[in-house]
Structure 1
Amino acid sequence: MKLVIFTPAVKTSAIGRMARLVVRQLLANQHEVVVVRTESQHVSVKELHDFGCAVLPWDNDSQVTREIESADCCVYQIGNSYEFHEGAIAWLAKVPGIVCLHDFFLGHLFFGWSQNRREEAIRVLTQWYGATIADEYFKIHDGSVFISKTRNEAPLTEWISSMATCVITHSNWGCDRVMAACPGPVFVTPLAYDAPGATGSELQSDNDKLNVLTIGHVNPNKRVESCILAIASSPALRSNVRYRLVGAIQPETEKRLSELANDNGVELIISNEVDDAALSMAIREADVISCLRWPSLEAASASAIEAMLYGKATIVTDTGFYSELPDEFVLKISVDNEVEDLKKIFLSLHSDQTSAKAIGKQAQEWAQTTFTAENYAQKLEQAVPAALRANVILSAVEHFSSIFEKWSANPELLETPDILQPLSVFNTNTIV
């Protein structure tokens, strides 16, 4: 079959990295694939993932249209960033297809899309969440307040799901909203990811300290402060734990965290952004990786998966995607008892560092057979005929709607048994 896959292609995109793995597997399975890169025009695309096939810019309308016309299905990789997914939203609205949903909170994606479409955005908010939320939505100007006030009340998961004929996502916790909006089936399958740097030999530290690492953009939901406070709460941990941050960090955040660590006698190393080789070395040097998230908004965590693929003991918050990871392969902490749970884990791992290696090894073996491109490509192959069946339903609904509109009839007639019963033979709105 032929697929047109819309995805970020820039190397800084983890979704692009995942899509590259899946595209190459689909090509190996003898499918034809054309990639359409979806970044906004201002995003630098000097370094792109190597998909092994043709890559088109999303705003080349004539060429993209020709590829779509000869394709069996379109596949949209969508996460919570408008600058990475602008092209996917533009084409999904015109050509429905399979949405691979990477986040169950899409507020930032929606907010970026809404900037030149305020009236349309208000209609979307009103349709899914009511007039009160629609009236208040654009009055929130603080980023953290925006997430706290909208992640449950208006996550915009339904907005994207309603445009899809089928959704593939990577955990179950946010599927209720997807099911409420998507007219076709919903598939749940593990995210495809890799860790090419994990093949090197393990790096040994030059001392007996427990090396703790947090990777990625340093923001409040990474819970860095809690890690510092947990280390600070014990003299043994203050003397025997080194905590490192690798990832983009704002100057004011760096200053605040450095002061907190210094005031509490915690050894904190802030490395900021580094290249792939340095990041791989930092992961290999670590004994344990903190992948805490609160609130948790993603359908899967690339950093947690990567930590397991490296064979590292991985600490996660017992929520969302992380709750669905088997208890024997990760170290889970409670949202309500964060600092104390972290303290206990750090003390346990320091007193018996062989346990960290054992947990990491077990996690690595499981992750290597779970988060694979082969599994993901197989799920896509199952989803395409299901999406095509869902198109039958949508076409029938559009047909009847046009007839009722010509008759000036009430559209609620579409919900009557005489209409719904014949269409039920095509109903595939289930989680697979």
Structure 2
Amino acid sequence: MKFVFFSPMATNSAIGRVTVLIVRALMAQGDSAVVVRTEHEQRLDKPAHACDTELIDWTQTAAVEAAISSADALIYQIGNNYSFHCGGLHWLATHPGIVCLHDFMVTHLFAEWAEGRRAEAEAILADWYGEELAEAFYKANTAESFIEMATQSCPMTEWICSMALAVVSHSHWGMARVAQSCAGPLRVVPLPYDAPSCTSAMSLAASPPPQKSRVNILTVGHVNPNKRVDSVIRAIGSSALLRDTVSYRLCGLIGPQVEQSLSRLARDLGVQLVISGEADDAALQQAMNEADIACCLRWPSLEAASATTIEGLLYGKAVIVMDAAFYSELPDDCVRKISPFNEVAELTEVLEELCGNAATRQAMAHRGQVWAEHTFSAPNYARELANLSVSAAAAQPVLSMVGTLVSTLDRWGASPALMMSDEIADALQLFQGHGQAAV
């Protein structure tokens, strides 16, 4: 089979890293692939992940159309960042394919896409969430109010998935919205990821806990309120044991005001805080190797899966997560889970346990690494994607026929009640079995 992937490929894109792994696995099983870079035009000159196949910019219309015309399946990697995915949206609108949904909430993606398209955006919002929400969408005047509205009322999952022939996601928690909006086949498949330069599970199990002056805790990623860094600092600062034994490191983009605020909080509470800022792959790999605990708290939890959490598990680190969304689906014996409603107290208790007993910490890390190496597999993802491509191709004419019928009824002025009547619904039973499957 020939696949065309629409994906960001810049070296700072975790989704691009995933695409490389999938393409490599597809080629190993005898398939071929072309990758269309989907970043904003101003980003297309940035260095790309090394990939053993042809790369095309989404703006190269003739080359993209030629790739599409000879493809067996189109794969759209979609996340909640417009500057990384604008090219994917451009082609998805006219050439539907399989959407690999990396975030269940894509409201930021939608909001930036909607700039200059207000009437169209309001119609989409009204169709999925009602006229009142369509009006409220443009009245959110702070980042906090926007996130609250997005997570509670309009994640825009339906907008993306309604354009797809089929959807792959990486956890179950948001699939109800996917099923409401995509009539094609659906799959939940663990996200493939890797951990360059990590210690193997076998070596980790055989080696004794290292003797170090302090336990190193690491948080990776853009430092914003969603990462709960201030809660980690408060948890460490509330415990004499943790203050004396812990070093807390941040690796990721951080604004100057946030850096000043967190540094001041750490000083006031007597916490040893190391702020490394944005780092390249080699520096991040070194930071992960040096860490004892990966603190992967996210609240609100919006991802279909967390590459950072998977990476922490693959690197053989004790991983702490929020007990929500994707993170709740991780095995209880492989991670420690924190309630978002008792965050600091539970985090303090868990950190004291893990920092106070190296053997316990390492045993959990080993269990997590073994499970992650088996679960987050690129060959498995490639097989599932190939199988889903066959199902999506079979479903496409059926979905097109149903879409034509619904459009015709809509042009005739049919009300929603009529479209859901027994006469219409019973007739559409003919097509059952050709659409959704195994979520």
TM-score range, shorter chain: over 0.9
Q: Which residue number corresponds to residue 279 of structure 2? A: 274
Aligned pairs for 1:405-416 (under 5 A) are 408=412, 410=414, 415=420, 416=424
Displacement of 1:401 in angstroms is 4.8
- Aligned residues of 2:103 and 2:303 also touching (Cα < 8 A): yes
AA partner of residue 259 (structure 2): E
- 1:262–1:66 Cα change, 3 Å: same
Q: What is the aligned partner in structure 2 of residue 419 from structure 1?
A: 427
User: Among residues 245, 261, 281, which one is paired with 2:250 in the alignment?
Assistant: 245
- Whether 1:430 aligns to 2:437 is yes
Alpha-carbon distance between aligned partners in 2 of 1:10 and 1:278, rounded to the nearest angstrom:
17
Q: Is the 8 A contact 1:414 1:420 kept in 2?
A: no
SS of residue matched to 2:30: coil
- Whole-angstrom distance in 1 between the partners of 2:222 and 2:289: 19
Question: Deviations along 1:174-229, whole A, 9 cap, x unmatched?
Answer: 00000000011210010000011214898997743221111111111111111111
Asked if residue 231 in structure 1 is aligned to residue 236 in structure 2, the reply is yes
Q: Is residue 41 from structure 1 mapped to residue 41 from structure 2 by the alignment?
A: yes
Cα gap change, 1:257 to 1:153, in 2 (>3 Å): same
Match of 2:141 in 1: 141
Q: Percent of aligned positions with the same letter in both sequences?
A: 47
- Matched letter for residue 72 of structure 1: D
Greater shift in the superposed pair: 142-151 or 257-266: 142-151
Kindly state the Cα deviation for residue 400 of structure 1 after the two structures are TM-superposed. 3.1
Query: What's 2:53 paired with?
Result: 53
Q: Supply the distance in 2 between the matched residues of 1:262 and 1:249 (Cα, whole angstroms).
A: 18
Q: Which of the residues 287, 295, 298 maps onto 2:292?
A: 287
- Structure 1's 51 and 405: CA in aligned 2 closer, same or farther, altered over 3 A? same
Distance change (3 Å), C-alpha of 1:402 and 1:365: closer
The one-letter code of the counterpart of 2:414 is: N
Q: Find out whether 1:62 has 2:69 as its counterpart.
A: no
Residue 195 of structure 1 aligns to a residue in which SS?
coil
TM-score, normalised via structure 1 length = 0.95
TM superposition shift of 1:60: 1.4
Corresponding position of 2:327: 322
Q: CA deviation at 1:326?
A: 0.4
Cα–Cα, structure 1 residues 72 and 210, in superposed 2: closer, same or farther, change >3 Å? same
For residues 367-402 of structure 1, the C-alpha deviation after alignment (integer angstroms, 9 at most, x for no partner) is 111101011101101111111122122221244356
The letter of the residue matching 1:125 is: L
Gap change, CA 1:397 and 1:226, over 3 Å in 2:
same
SS of the aligned residue for 1:167 comes to strand
- 1:300 and 2:305 matched: yes
Q: Which runs of 4+ in 1 moved over 6 A?
A: 200-206
The equivalent of 1:111 in structure 2 is 111
> Does the 8 A contact of 1:183 with 1:390 survive in 2?
no
In structure 2, give the amino acid aligned to 1:43: R
Task: Name whichever of 413-422 and 101-110 sits farther off.
Answer: 413-422
SS of 1:163's partner is coil
Read off the aligned partner of 1:431 and give its amino acid letter.
A
State the match for 1:198 in structure 2: 198
2:339 paired with 1:339: no
Residue 391 of structure 2 corresponds to which residue in structure 1? 386
Question: Please, which runs of 5 or more residues in structure 1 have no aligned partner?
Answer: none
* Structure 2 residue corresponding to 1:255, chosen from 254, 257, 260: 260
Query: Contact between 1:400 and 1:414, CA under 8 Å: does it hold in 2?
Result: no
CA 1:184–1:205 in 2, change beyond 3 Å: closer, same or farther?
same
- Over aligned residues, Cα RMSD in angstroms? 1.9
CA deviation map 1:249-304 (0-9, x unaligned):
10000100011010111111111112222211111111111000100000000000
Query: How far apart are the structure 1 equivalents of 2:132 and 2:257?
Result: 35
Question: 1:365: which partner in 2?
Answer: 370
1 CA distance for matches of 2:281 and 2:168?
A: 29
Shift of 1:34: 1.1
Alpha carbons 2:192, 2:377 under 8 Å: kept:
yes
* 1:105 match: secondary structure: coil
Whether the aligned pair in 1 keeps the contact of 2:44 and 2:57 (CA below 8 Å) is no
Deviates more, 1:394-403 or 1:41-50: 394-403
Residue 65 of structure 1 and its aligned partner are, at CA, apart by 1.1
Whole-Å Cα distance in 2 between the matches of residues 152 and 385 of structure 1?
35
Letter in 2 for 1:349: L
Instruction: Determine helix, strand or coil for the equivalent of 1:35.
Output: strand
Structure 1 contact 401–411 (Cα < 8 Å) conserved: no
Asked if 1 retains the 8 angstrom alpha-carbon contact of 2:37 and 2:44, the reply is: no
| Partner AA of 2:183 in structure 1 | P
TM-score (norm 2): 0.94
Residue type matched to 1:180 in 2?
A: Q
CA distance in 2, matches of 1:159, 1:112: 14
Which residue in the other structure is 2:95 paired with? 95
Cα separation, 1, equivalents of 2:358 and 2:288: 16
For 1:44 and 1:331, how far apart are their aligned partners in 2? 39
Gaps of 5+ in 2: none
Report 1:205-224 matches (<5 A): 207-224=212-229
Q: SS of the counterpart of 2:341?
A: helix
Deviates more, 1:68-77 or 1:207-216: 207-216
Distance 1:257 1:405 in 2: 55
- Residues 320, 418 of structure 1: alpha-carbon distance in 2 compared, 3 angstrom cutoff: closer
CA distance in 1, matches of 2:154, 2:66: 36
The letter of the residue matching 2:336 is L
Question: CA contact under 8 A between 2:184 and 2:399: conserved in structure 1?
Answer: no
Alignment coverage as a number of residue pairs:
430
